[in-house]
């Protein structure tokens, strides 16, 4: 199975709170896990990404936590701001095919609509 399952479907957080979005995958050959942020009417844009050789990656208020044994990874947004209100997608890079490359194809989670109230 190539699925990536994301939860929750929607999330409401107060300004200054912590937003947590979780993803689980099945294929242990996945080896790259990016998060994309999408504002209404726009295309997704890369927010932060992690490789499975590390358990955590932090960039400003955004942190990815990765649990290889549980096949789970999560996005934490600290001090959430109204400007963070967007749809967030986790994704995974599929395993290499017979040709030895995955060509950058991404398998996406279902998306989480985050609303941060002022």
Partner 1 sequence: NAGVTQTPKFRILKIGQSMTLQCTQDMNHNYMYWYRQDPGMGLKLIYYSVGAGITDKGEVPNGYNVSRSTTEDFPLRLELAAPSQTSVYFCASSYLQGYAEAFFGQGTRLTVV
Binding site for partner 1 (CB under 8 A): 4, 6, 9, 32, 34, 41-46, 49, 51, 89, 93, 101-111
In angstroms, give the least distance from the CB of 44 to partner 1: 5
Instruction: Name which of 28, 18, 20 is nearest 90 in CA terms.
Output: 20
Nearer to partner 1, 32 or 65 (CB): 32
In angstroms, give the least distance from the CB of 4 to partner 1: 8
Instruction: Name which of 94, 116, 113, 96 is nearest 105 in CA terms.
Output: 94
50 phi and psi angles, rounded to 5 deg: -140, 150
In angstroms, give the least distance from the CB of 96 to partner 1: 8
The residue with tokens 């989480």 is: 112
């Amino acid at each position: 199975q190539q699925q990536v399952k994301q939860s929750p479907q929607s999330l409401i957080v107060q300004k200054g709170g912590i937003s947590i979005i979780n993803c689980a995958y099945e294929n242990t050959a996945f080896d790259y896990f990016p998060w994309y942020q999408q504002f209404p009417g726009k295309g997704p844009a890369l927010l932060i990404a992690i490789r499975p050789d590390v358990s955590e990656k932090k960039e400003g208020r955004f942190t990815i936590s990765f649990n290889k044994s549980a096949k789970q990874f999560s996005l934490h947004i600290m001090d959430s701001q109204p400007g963070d209100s967007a749809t967030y997608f986790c994704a995974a890079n599929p395993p290499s095919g017979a040709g030895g490359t995955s060509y950058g194809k991404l398998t996406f989670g279902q998306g989480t609509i985050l609303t941060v109230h002022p």
